[in-house]
Amino acid sequence: MKANMENRPYKDLPEQVLFALFQQSNENAFSEIYFRYSGALYKHALKMLKDRDEAKDIIQDIFASFWLKRESLILTTSLASYLYTSVRNKVLDVFSHEKVAARYQQSLQAFIDQGEFITDDWLREKELTAIIDQQIAELPPKMRAVFELSRKTQLSYREISEELDICENTVRKHITKAIKKLKVKLDTVVIIALTVVEIIQLIRIK
């Protein structure tokens, strides 16, 4: 998963400028984005999937989709956070498909009997996630980027510090402050539900 280190005319460009060029269908900008992130994204996917081929396929799919959506894509987070979240969602899709297939094999009737409950539970989780995402979007840019990499992509403090080129202590402070801000904005019921949703997500990832 290593990109070619030669012919990198945009290697020193900041992320915002690089993304703007990418949206103009600049292939060198796309190549630079791939070079910067593909290796780390592959490791992230492999860590969750434990399968090299599946991890490679997911990264290829992510970047293929990224290129196809380039002109209409609107980033509300950092580019790194967007790509890590895309990988995580793709991995969850894989787990979801495997889970459904296994359940069908075990008992089709059991799946049918539980279908209404599962759908209702999924809708509640989706609505809650939308509320939380809205509050997260209102955090200061740097704090939001750190918080999203921590909560949505399951990166460690060390990995986040390396990704954003800041010290681990700064990462810890951003996350602590973000949680305090969110607790002020969200009522007790939502906070409790957030914990439940995160536990569900962690179980799915494991």
Long-range pairs of 136-142 with CB within 8 A, sequence gap ≥ 24? 136/178, 136/182, 137/76, 138/185, 139/178, 139/181, 139/182, 142/174
Q: Which two three-digit tokens encode residue 184?
A: 């002020």
pLDDT at 35: 93
Q: What sign for the dihedral angle of Cα 101, 193, 155, 17?
A: positive
**165-189 pLDDT, tens digit each:** 888 899 888 888 887 777 766 654 4
CA distance 141 to 138: 8
Give the number of residues written for the chain: 206
Contact 59, 1 (CB under 8 A): yes
Q: Across the chain, what does the average pLDDT equal?
A: 75
User: In this predicted model, what pLDDT tens digit does every residue of 56-71 receive, in sequence order?
Assistant: 999 999 999 999 999 9
198 compared with 49, residue with greater pLDDT: 49
pLDDT in tens, 73-128: 988 888 988 999 899 888 888 877 655 445 444 433 343 344 433 444 444 555 55
pLDDT bin (cut points 50, 70, 90) of residue 20 is: very high
Structure tokens at 88: 């995580």
5 compared with 22, residue with greater pLDDT? 22
> How far is Cα 75 from Cα 60, in angstroms, rounded to an integer?
20
